[in-house]
């Protein structure tokens, strides 16, 4: 039946839906994209709907890894050259008192309890455990040389840390804080990302240009995903950032100087597509409903926005100098 | 002369152009093969030329294939404009043009009808090219396929008018091949079809000015922006201005009492 445009009653019936749609749009608009600028020593804050830069907040020296607090009101920032974790209040955009960390914190993860940060200290081969409330380092775990990526299992039981020079993924038991397994992966492992169901850990290798899929129960590599971009030299294909959808249907892998993000079918581990983004794409982050993926492009000093259902790059916008980490605040 | 006469004349000219195009299958294939060769071979070789800068109307980095697609559509229209005019020279040599020129309708109208007939063919070619290019991930937004239609008509008319102007100055078919070489290639290469103008500016400022003044550059940019649902006013104005100038000169050139036809008759 055609919709009568002149029928006032019909319009009234549609009104609740319009209100819900407007509210939904409003909710989407409320998202903010937060980007750490490694060389700019700042955090860029962008409106997710328009991707307009709202503000740039100066923070500590060489900010790299960034993580949202569980209540999403605080941004934790690895201020690598200050050897501390900055805390940015996301309501006032003012820095709170920093948290301690080991030397040269590069990357970290928040434990599902929301109270502990697990920090990879690149210079002293340690993973530091920081109690946020007590504001002190409560534990240290010795790992391989140049620890880099940190991934915590969804149940909080296992910590996976990668070490760049040792080329290993170290499985740490959170209860005993001991390394229980070392998995040799391809050269210079970077990120370690758990699937939402906790059944797989994906570890990217920068020099190896691959992603190793590890079974956390057997600590065996079950699949190795290789990347080849037509026309791009092999050595330029360097796997770094990983993002896996919650339903484990799709995974995205940032390929560094190849300037591409690989789209992987996470069910059969086949590469579906390569998406052209900015130069030296480094880290990735989904928005709340996983309809968008944001990439930091370290050399071209911008971020790219990817439409996840359409697998298409929508736009790239400039941020600060050498963007490194990215998170989306709902 | 009633509007019906005008309509019948236009239909007749369009039908003749359409028949010529349909009957010459090789021409249709050639018209598509040329830009496709550029797209699939040349663009692959130059894959890394772009990807270092975001240029409007693009909002992100685009592969070279995506960048040159509007230029290749422009190439289709440039060749079609010239070939349509080539048929004028052929018609004149074969005598069939006389039938047309003895028509009681005004000369300018006959030329406009001829121009429109050529544009219809070139627009069809452009859409077939876009359909094939889609399989090579040249996927402008859906609105772009609609928005590009007026841009294609305008740029097709401008390039067709240029062809008409050239054909009015050519005495024989043989001469036309030379003119095509001296017109098509310089116009195509000294434009934004294959490389963005900021790249040209970096290399050579005089060449940049030449490219900026080249009406073909503006035809390509008009198509490029339209494919992304945007209107580039500067290019639109430049294309309209070039169309008016070329058409006025072509009408003058084809005027038996004043233009080049008179000089040619005197020479013969």
pLDDT tens profile A253-280:
999 999 999 999 999 999 999 999 999 9
User: Which residues in chain A have Cβ-Cβ distances shorter than 8 Å to B51?
Assistant: 259, 276
Distance from A50 to chain B by nearest Cα, in Å?
12
Contact A300 B48 (CB under 8 A): no
User: By C-alpha distance, which of B38, B28, B164, B154 is closest to B107?
Assistant: B164
Question: Edge-to-edge strand order for the sheet containing A42-47?
Answer: A53-58, A42-47, A32-37, A323-329
pLDDT at A79 over 80: yes
Digit-by-digit pLDDT tens for chain B (268 residues) are 677 877 877 777 777 777 777 777 777 777 788 888 888 877 777 766 555 578 889 888 888 888 899 999 999 999 888 887 777 777 777 766 677 777 777 777 778 888 888 898 889 989 999 999 998 888 899 999 999 999 999 999 999 999 888 888 776 666 666 766 788 889 999 999 888 888 888 888 999 999 999 999 999 999 999 999 999 999 999 999 999 999 999 888 877 666 555 555 555 5
Contact B61 A314 (CB under 8 A): no
d(CA B143, CA B56): 17
pLDDT mean over A218-246: 92
pLDDT at B263: 56
User: Which residues in chain B have Cβ-Cβ distances shorter than 8 Å to A315?
Assistant: 59-60
The neighbour count for residue A28, using CB atoms within 10 Å, is: 16
Distance from A296 to chain B by nearest Cα, in Å?
13
For B159, residues 6+ apart whose C-beta sits below 8 A from its C-beta are B74, B77, B78, B80, B81, B82, B122, B216, B219
| Number of Cβ pairs < 8 A linking chain A and chain B | 30
pLDDT at A26: 42
Helix (H, G, I), strand (E, B) or coil at B113: helix
Q: Closest partner residue to A259 among B51, B54, B59, by Cβ? A: B51
Q: Closest partner residue to B54 among A230, A314, A316, by Cβ? A: A316
pLDDT at A11: 45
Mutation choice for A interface testing from B41, B46, B48, B60 by most A CBs within 10 A: B60
Contact B61 A276 (CB under 8 A): yes
pLDDT at A94 over 60: yes
pLDDT mean over A105-132: 91
Distance from B61 to chain A by nearest Cα, in Å?
6
Query: What mean pLDDT, rounded, does chain A reach?
Result: 89
Choose between B252 and A41: higher pLDDT.
Answer: A41
Length of chain B: 268
d(CA A253, CA A286): 12
Looking at chain A from residue 302 to 321, which residues have their Cβ under 8 Å from any Cβ of chain B?
304-305, 312-316
CB-CB contact of A96 with A88 (8 Å): yes
Tokens of B37: 């060769």
pLDDT at A141: 92
pLDDT tens profile A272-315:
999 999 999 999 999 999 999 999 999 999 999 999 999 999 99
- Confidence tier at A218 by pLDDT (50, 70, 90): very high
User: By C-alpha distance, which of A326, A247, A239, A230 is closest to A283?
Assistant: A326
ipTM above 0.85, yes or no: no
pLDDT at B73: 94
Q: Does B142 touch chain A (CB under 8 A)?
A: no
pLDDT at B209: 93
d(CA B147, CA A65): 44
Distance from A278 to chain B by nearest Cα, in Å?
7
Q: Closest partner residue to B47 among A231, A304, A315, by Cβ? A: A231
Q: What are phi and psi of B171, to 5 degrees?
A: -90, -35
Mutation choice for B interface testing from A300, A307, A314 by most B CBs within 10 A: A300
pLDDT at A1 over 70: no
| pLDDT cut 90: percent of chain A above it | 82
pLDDT at B50: 56
Contact B61 A278 (CB under 8 A): yes
pLDDT mean over A56-66: 95
pLDDT mean over A165-178: 93
pLDDT at A118: 95
Q: Does B182 touch chain A (CB under 8 A)?
A: no
Residue ranges per domain, chain B?
3-254
Choose between B193 and A75: higher pLDDT.
Answer: A75
User: Which residues in chain A have Cβ-Cβ distances shorter than 8 Å to B63?
Assistant: 276
pLDDT at A187 over 70: yes
Residue A259 Ramachandran class (φ > 0 left, ψ -120 to 50 alpha, else beta): left
What is the 8-class DSSP label of residue B41?
I
Q: Half-sphere exposure of residue A124, counting CA atoms within 13 Å on the CB side? A: 14
- Confidence tier at A6 by pLDDT (50, 70, 90): very low
User: Which residues in chain B have Cβ-Cβ distances shorter than 8 Å to A316?
Assistant: 54, 59-61
Contact A304 B44 (CB under 8 A): no
d(CA A261, CA A255): 6
pLDDT mean over A99-127: 90
Distance from A276 to chain B by nearest Cα, in Å?
7
pLDDT at A8: 46
pLDDT mean over A200-219: 95
């Amino acid at each position: 039946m055609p919709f009568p445009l002149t029928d006032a009653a019909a319009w009234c019936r549609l009104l609740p839906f319009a209100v819900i749609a407007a509210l939904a749009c409003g909710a989407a608009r409320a998202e903010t994209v937060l980007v750490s600028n490694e060389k700019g020593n700042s955090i860029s804050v962008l409106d997710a709907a328009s991707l307009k830069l709202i503000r740039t907040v100066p923070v500590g020296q060489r900010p790299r890894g960034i993580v949202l607090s569980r209540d999403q009101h605080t941004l934790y920032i690895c201020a690598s050259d200050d050897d501390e974790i900055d805390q940015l209040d996301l309501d006032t955009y003012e820095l709170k008192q920093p948290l301690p960390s080991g030397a040269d914190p590069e990357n970290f993860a928040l434990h599902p309890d929301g109270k502990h940060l697990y920090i990879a200290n690149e210079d002293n081969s340690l993973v530091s455990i920081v109690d946020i409330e007590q504001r002190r380092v409560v534990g240290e775990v010795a790992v391989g040389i140049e620890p880099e990526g940190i991934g915590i299992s969804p149940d909080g039981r296992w910590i996976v840390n990668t070490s760049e020079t040792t080329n290993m993924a170290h499985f740490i038991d959170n209860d005993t804080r001991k390394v229980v397994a070392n998995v040799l992966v391809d050269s210079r492992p970077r990120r370690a990302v758990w699937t939402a169901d906790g059944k797989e850990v994906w570890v990217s290798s920068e020099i190896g240009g691959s992603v190793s899929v590890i079974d956390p129960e057997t600590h065996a590599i079950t699949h190795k995903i290789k990347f080849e971009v037509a026309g791009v030299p092999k050595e330029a294909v360097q796997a770094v950032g990983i993002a896996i959808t919650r339903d484990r249907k799709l995974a995205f892998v940032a390929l560094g100087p190849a300037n591409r993000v690989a789209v992987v079918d996470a069910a059969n581990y086949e590469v579906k597509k390569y998406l052209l983004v900015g130069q030296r794409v480094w880290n990735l982050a989904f928005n709340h409903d996983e309809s968008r993926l944001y990439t930091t492009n370290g050399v071209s000093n911008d971020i790219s926005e990817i439409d996840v259902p359409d697998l298409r790059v929508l736009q790239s916008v400039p941020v600060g100098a050498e963007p490194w980490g990215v998170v989306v605040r709902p | 002369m009633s509007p019906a006469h005008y309509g019948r004349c236009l239909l007749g000219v369009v039908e003749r152009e359409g028949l010529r195009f349909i009957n010459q299958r090789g021409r249709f294939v050639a018209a598509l093969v040329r830009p496709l060769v550029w797209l699939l071979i040349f663009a692959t070789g130059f894959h890394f030329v772009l990807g270092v800068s975001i240029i409007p109307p693009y909002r992100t980095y685009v592969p070279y294939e995506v960048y040159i697609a509007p230029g290749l559509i422009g190439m289709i229209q440039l060749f079609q404009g010239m070939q349509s005019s080539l048929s004028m020279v052929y018609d004149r040599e074969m005598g069939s043009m006389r039938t047309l020129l003895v028509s009681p309708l005004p000369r300018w109208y006959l030329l406009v009808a001829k121009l429109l007939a050529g544009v219809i063919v070139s627009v069809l070619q452009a859409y077939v090219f876009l359909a094939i290019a889609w399989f090579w991930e040249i996927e402008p937004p859906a609105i772009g396929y609609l928005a590009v239609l007026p841009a294609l008509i305008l740029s097709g008319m401008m390039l067709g008018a240029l062809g008409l102007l050239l054909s009015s100055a050519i005495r024989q078919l043989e001469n036309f091949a030379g003119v095509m070489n001296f017109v098509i290639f310089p116009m195509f290469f000294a434009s934004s079809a294959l490389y963005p103008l900021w790249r040209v500016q970096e290399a050579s400022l005089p060449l940049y000015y030449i490219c900026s003044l080249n009406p073909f550059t503006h035809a390509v940019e008009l198509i490029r922006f339209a494919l992304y649902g945007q209107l580039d006013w500067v290019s639109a104005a430049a294309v309209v201005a070039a169309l008016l100038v070329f058409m006025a000169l072509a009408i003058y050139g084809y005027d038996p009492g004043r233009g080049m036809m008179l000089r040619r008759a005197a020479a013969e």
